[in-house]
Amino acid sequence: MEEAQRELFQRHRLRLVKELHVEPLWPLMLDRELFTRDMIEDIQSAGTRRDQARRLITDLQTRGKQAFPIFISCLEDTDQWDLAALLREGNTTQQLETVDIEPVEMNRSEGASGTNEKIPTSKKEEQKEQGTSSLDVGEGAVGPPQAKGGKNLGMVGQVYPLTSDPCGYCLIINNVDFSAASGLSVRTGSNIDCEKMQKRFQALHFAVEVECNLTAKAMGTTLQHLAQRDHSALDCCVVIILSHGRQSSHIQFPGAICGTDGASISVEKIVNFFSGSRCPSLGGKPKLFFIQACGGDQKDHGFQVCFNTLEDNFFGSDLEPDATPFQINFDQPDAVANLPTPSDILVSYSTFPGFVSWRDKKSGSWYIETLDRVLEEWAATEDLLSILLMVSNAVSTKGTFKQIPGCFNFLRKRFFFKTK
């Protein structure tokens, strides 16, 4: 398939996933040798109609030169005229060739293009012919990204496919002004963090939404509404929370986030809104949480090292912690038994549990400022875990007091942001 035709599929992906009727397409695509029976069964096993449509659109882009006109003919013969016209009119690379749509006996020595290119009988055989395997790239991935200078990164393990545009929703909760009764200070500098994250994740092809100054109850409601949306046509979901924080009892994920009323919601509860049972349309897809909040009220003075290359970016009187006192059993975990397996989840904390997280009034928090800078430089070539290691290293060298970000990683594959 021509590159322009692949781009056409990506441009109209959301509409195709929403409107495509896949069931009547299977016998036609089999008869016209667009896919083998094993390949069709593999696509059908993806799940719901939307999931099958997403998988079909991805796999179509790996077929031969005739795949595009054959698929349009299948759409027309199943009365999906609007979608056929959408693709036909958008194809500016060449005139669509007339396709022989007479059913023919399957010939394993001929591919979809009518050449002597063998059609693999299974996903494994297809990967073998292409010189890849399920250990090299994930489904829908186009291969390992190239490092600067064209150097291959030598990717090991599967990769989450990010083929939709936008990739997914990105919700930013920015709590700045707290009620007098809460006893919590104004988080001066947080709006700088919020603006940076909004621009950064828009550049990374996310649909960004910002909510400001929410109570603990409003935070829970907002996050629940996000989890209850239909994410079927999307590939990912990101939640960024900028607020005061405190320690909290937990089973899986430590910490709690303060609302503007001084009440809090546990990180564990936030993450579990997006579990497989509560948010099935994000099942198997990466769910990323970035939390700029204190994990407690301990201040880390650090320890002496035997080399003097550490950067010292102490900001003096403009430095503030995002800490609130630890309250025993202030928050109960969302569930004590039968917690859903937290697969495809990553929670990145600005600081180690129990310690404060520093924020400068003029330039924003250490963590968000560094995360934004590292994403700008490395998102195009490095996977998320490598990026977070860079962030941790950079933040750890700052200031008189010390801070070390960390994460709870339950991702099953490597994650690369979409930068083009």
279 has catalytic annotation? no
Secondary structure of residue 243 in the 3-state scheme = coil
Q: From the candidates 244, 250, 279, 407, give the one annotated as an active-site residue.
A: 244
Whether 36 contacts 120, CB under 8 Å: yes
Q: For residue 384, give the amino acid letter.
A: L
Residue 225 contacts by C-beta under 8 Å, 6 or more apart in sequence? none
294 has catalytic annotation? yes
> Nearest Cα to 265, choosing from 237, 228, 224?
224
Angle at 190 between CA 180 and CA 234, to 5 degrees: 115
Whether 107 contacts 15, CB under 8 Å: no
DSSP category for residue 282? G
Whether 268 contacts 198, CB under 8 Å: no
DSSP category for residue 252? S
Half-sphere exposure (CA, 13 Å, Cβ side) for 307? 4
Edge-to-edge strands, sheet with 345-349: 206-212, 168-174, 236-242, 287-292, 345-349, 406-410
For residue 340, is the peptide bond before it cis, meaning its omega torsion is within 30 degrees of 0?
A: no
Written as six digits, the tokens of 178 are 């707290």
What Å distances lie between residue 361 and 142, 167, 217, 240, 344, CA to CA?
Answer: 43, 32, 27, 19, 34
329: left (phi over 0), alpha (psi -120 to 50) or beta: left
Q: From the candidates 237, 279, 294, 407, give the one annotated as an active-site residue.
A: 294
Give the integer Cα–Cα distance in Å for 11 and 3. Answer: 12
Q: Name residue 290's beta-bridge partners.
A: 240, 348
- Where do the H-state alpha helices sit in 185-215? 190-203
> Nearest Cα to 404, choosing from 412, 415, 393?
393
Written as six digits, the tokens of 96 are 């669509």
State the sign of the Cα–Cα–Cα–Cα dihedral 91, 93, 94, 100: negative
Annotated active-site positions, please?
A: 244, 294
